[in-house]
Structure 1
Amino acid sequence: MPLPRNAKVLSAKQPRASMVGHAAENEEENSHSKRFMSSPQGGPKKRSAFGDITNAHKNQVAAGKKEAVKVAPQKAQRTCVALGVAKNNEINLKKSMKKTPPGEASAEPKEDPAPEEPMIVELPAVEDVDKDQLVDPYNNSVYAKEIFEYMRGREEKFMLPNYMETQPDISRDMRAILVDWMVEVQQNFELNHETLYLSVKLVDHYLAEVETMRDKLQLIGSTAILIASKFEQERCPPCVDDFLYICDDAYKRDELLAMEASILSTLQFDINIPIAYRFLRRFARCARATIETLTLARFLCEMTLQEYDYARERPSKLAASCLLLALTMKNLGGWTPTLEYYSGYCAQDLHPLVRRLNFLLTYQPSDKLKAVRSKYSNGAFFEVAKVTPMDMLKLEEILKSC
């Protein structure tokens, strides 16, 4: 059917959204985060095939027409020259003339005093750390703030009790030895650090619910690493036979699979537990910290995995304290308004934990637990384990000045 002469053809095509932004959050540390320089396996290559598949930004299409502004017609003013109204006006005029002294001109109406200008309080500038981070669809920078607020809320659910009081056959030293062994397993299999932190959390939450004998402790640790490697989607996760091998065939395949089912059912399959490592990377981005400063903070944070006293700390607060101590050791300034905004902690909230961390770094409780220090003494991690700890009195002076 032919179109009318004056008909307008509407185009059905919409402009295509452009991808803008920056690289992913952990692009800077891929070569350092989980493998040594001598590792035969290279880092994972980025995939650009899915660069356009993202719903982070939607096209904003201007639709609709401007509504015409309707102006209501003004009503004609009525002039009522009533005798009573005129008489009242005359009486009011005479009264006003009596009040005015003779010989004085009528004073001009006083101008209203100028309103006082509001005081402008300059607040510290908070940097938007998520801007220009949208090029990688895997980065989720649009939702980063909401994601970490959600994880902060989940910390309440996963606060650990003092479960060592209810364990009849396990001590703190046994737990420390187990975690030290788990660090070695993470190194040997070149697993992500997230896998290590999550596996330690799984062990703690399982022991908080189930009384366990010491001969099953290594089985729980290896099974926790198996579960965490699946959850974190490791590129090359170890298989069941690998875990049986590293346990020196102390357990059977059926025992490991049964323990996996026991851990998952005990935790009701809710294993998305907040870990300090993720918060640490987020806060380091807010501080614009270098990879060397971040590695020092990671070393401090990983030292706490072996210590039972730190297991009941909030992961976000622990990560913030480790970063603050690393910044202080590097003489890079204190806790900025940007860090306070994104972390939710002010500097005074972190001071007690910073003191404890520096004490832990200065006086290692046991010489037998060397996995973490040996790991971070390697050149791939800038040998941050060899950094001299801060003097306690000097640290106290710096914290008081903050």
Structure 2
Amino acid sequence: MPFPRGKKPSAAGGTKTSKVGATSTENQEEGSQVKRSSSPPHGAPKKRTAFIDITNAHNLQISLPVRKKDAGKKDAGKKATKKVAAVPAKNQANLTKSSSVSSEGTTSEKTDTEEDEKSEGLKTDASSPVVEPADDAPPAVREIPAHLRKQHIPKEFDIDSENSEDGFMCPEYAKDIFDYLKEREEKFVLCDYMPKQPSLNPEMRAILIDWLVEVQENFELYHETLYLAVKMTDHFLEKFPIHREMLQLVGSTAMLVASKFEERSPPCVDDFLYICDDAYKREELIAMEANILQTLSFDINIPIPYRFLRRYAKCVSAGMDTLTLARYFCEMSLMEMELVTERGSLLASACLLMALVTKDLGGWTPCLQFHSGYAASDLAPVVRKLYGMLLAPPDDKLRAVRNKYSHKVFFEVASLPLVDSDVLENVLAPPCDASPPDLDVKPKLE
């Protein structure tokens, strides 16, 4: 009859010695059985510690100094016991007395030394050794470099503390990011490059931008992709003369590169060949992509006005309808060759000011001036250019932006009437200047 695992039947009879022997045998087998129970069952994978093949932690033997000393003390105690046992009984008392008298001071010193060593060993195991500085040593205070110090932002201008729990908003250094982008704009200042393009004119460029707006809307791309594609196109045309037949290839290729930079799932090459109505071959588009990147030295992280616009709108807690109106103004400005030379942060500020005045939400606030670095007087020339652009009769060939922002999704902001020019001029006039606006500027707004 089989017995349960881990147990052995006891003998029914036998002497006391056999019982003791049986008991010891049972204990041995039970001990071995406990060890076997920790092993995996037959066919199961063997357990191992993570990185055991790399660190060989299972082969390491850690020996502590305290344990060695304790073991030495135990061995010394055993030897002393044996020696004492070997001394005759009549001399044992004298030997004990003399040893205690002769080693009284030494024993106390050893005890103090061992306690100190034990305490030092515990400190070493618990934490790193602490070095006490000298009395005359200067305090070890390292000063933070000036470029690493956190920028002081007045409480009334702090627009990022509300996002202190959102790591994606980078509230600790959000202003530093936009200050860096504003400084980086100086590297990407454009000029009027049309004289360098004998085969092109501003109307052709406006038609290309209008077509890119349709591409962005049909592919449902980010607005950042559209703005970056327009910037890349302008910087490429500034440095590389092309024929008018290649203009659409430049624009579609710039949109492809911008999609790779901004989008999570950018359209493929065949999609851009399709929207060009197969006017170009695959090899031509790929060659143009390499040409654009090499011409721009692969530096395509160009600051765009759309990013500044969203940042500055947060300064006044602008609603989505106000922000959309400013985006409409900004997207209309992409087609104007006269506004190509303006910096993105300045253009975004002018568009936001136009939207605030149109919505009767006030003018340029101190918070906006703090974060943008522009006063209302700095925005006046760009605002006047925007006003003249919007006041001009619409071109039937350039309807993409107006149709886009006439949809309900965009609050139909394209159908809103323009603000009166006198109201706009009052906002642009400096507070300390009570004189009327210049007469040669006023007719531009009418």
Please indicate, yes or no, whether the TM-score normalized by the shorter chain is above 0.5: yes
Match of 2:242 in 1: 212
Return the alpha-carbon distance in structure 2 between the equivalents of residues 347 and 11 of structure 1: 65
Partner residue, 1:357: 386
Distance 1:146 1:347, change over 3 A: same
Question: Which residue number in structure 2 is paired with residue 320 of structure 1?
Answer: 349
Structure 2 residue corresponding to 1:159, chosen from 186, 189, 200 = 189
Larger radius of gyration: 2
CA drift at 1:67? 9.8
Q: Specify which of 252, 256, 273 is matched with residue 226 of structure 1.
A: 256
- Equivalent position of 1:136 in the other structure: 166
Task: Note if 1:197 corresponds to 2:230.
Answer: no
Given the superposition, is the C-alpha separation of residues 253 and 228 from structure 1 closer, same or farther in structure 2, using an over 3 Å criterion? same
Q: Which moved more, 1:351-360 or 1:217-226?
A: 351-360
Matches within 5 A, 1:41-60: none
* Structure 1 unaligned regions, length at least 5: 14-62, 71-123
- Judge conservation of contact 1:125–1:338 (CA < 8 Å) in 2: no
Cα distance, 1:317 vs structure 2: 0.4
Rate the CA distance shift 1:166–1:130 in 2: closer, same or farther, 3 A. same
Structure 2 residue runs of 5 or longer lacking an equivalent are 1-65, 68-114, 138-153, 432-446
TM-score, with length taken from structure 2: 0.63
Matched-pair contact (CA < 8 Å) for 1:298–1:322: yes
CA shift for structure 1 position 148: 1.1
Q: Offset at 1:306?
A: 0.7
Counterpart-to-counterpart distance in 2, 1:328 and 1:11: 69
Which of 419, 423, 440 is the equivalent residue of 1:390? 419
- Alignment of 1:337 with 2:394, yes or no, is no
The answer (yes or no) to whether the contact 2:163–2:171 under 8 Å persists in 1 is: yes
Deviation per CA, 1:206-256: give whole Å up to 9, x if none: 000111101000000000000001111x12211000000000000000000
Structure number with greater CO (CA < 8 Å, separation at least 6) is 1
Of 225, 239, 247 in structure 1, the residue corresponding to residue 268 of structure 2 is 239
Higher fraction of helix? 2
- Report the alpha carbon displacement of residue 133 of structure 1 after superposing the two structures with TM: 1.5
Structure 1 partner of 2:72: none
Query: Which amino acid is 2:294 matched to?
Result: S
Structure 1 runs (4+) deviating above 4 angstroms are 2-13, 63-70
Percent of aligned pairs sharing the same letter:
55
Q: Please provide the CA RMSD for this pair.
A: 2.5
Q: Is the 8 A contact 1:279 1:315 kept in 2?
A: yes
Per-residue CA deviations over 1:280-335 (Å, capped at 9, x if unaligned) read 01101112111111111010000000111111101100000111111111111111
What is the CA–CA distance in structure 2 between the aligned matches of 1:349 and 1:202, rounded to whole Å? 26
Alpha-carbon distance in structure 2 between the residues aligned to 1:287 and 1:317: 17
Query: TM-score scaled by structure 1?
Result: 0.69
Q: CA deviation at 1:270?
A: 0.5
Asked if structure 2 preserves the Cα contact closer than 8 Å seen for 1:126 and 1:341, the reply is no
Q: Hey, what's the Cα distance between the residues in 2 that align with 1:336 and 1:196?
A: 29
Offset of residue 401 of structure 1: 6.9
Q: 1:299 to 1:246 in 2, by over 3 A?
A: same
Residue of 286, 299, 303 corresponding to 2:315 = 286
Matching residue of 1:177? 207
Cα separation, partners in 2 of 1:12 and 1:196, compared to 1, 3 Å: farther
Question: Once the two structures are superposed, what CA deviation does each residue of 1:151-203 show, in whole Å capped at 9, x if it has no partner?
Answer: 11111111112210111101100000000000000000000000000000010
Query: Are residues 149 and 10 of structure 1, via their aligned partners in 2, closer, same or farther at CA, if it must alter by over 3 Å?
Result: farther
- Could you tell me which amino acid in structure 1 is paired with residue 284 of structure 2? E
Query: CA offset at residue 400 of structure 1?
Result: 3.0
| Paired position in structure 1 for 2:328 | 299
Q: Structure 1 pair 264/12, CA: closer, same or farther in 2 (3 Å)?
A: farther
**Residues of 2 paired with 1:66 and 1:386: CA distance?**
74
| Corresponding position of 2:26 | none
1:400 aligns with 2:429: yes
Cα distance in 2, alignment partners of residues 268 and 335 from structure 1: 38
Whole-Å separation in 2 of the counterparts to 1:395 and 1:11: 73
Q: Separation in 1 of the partners of 2:398 and 2:124?
A: 72
Cα distance, 1:367 vs structure 2: 2.6
Q: Give the 3 Å change call, closer, same or farther, for CA 377–11 of structure 1 in structure 2.
A: farther
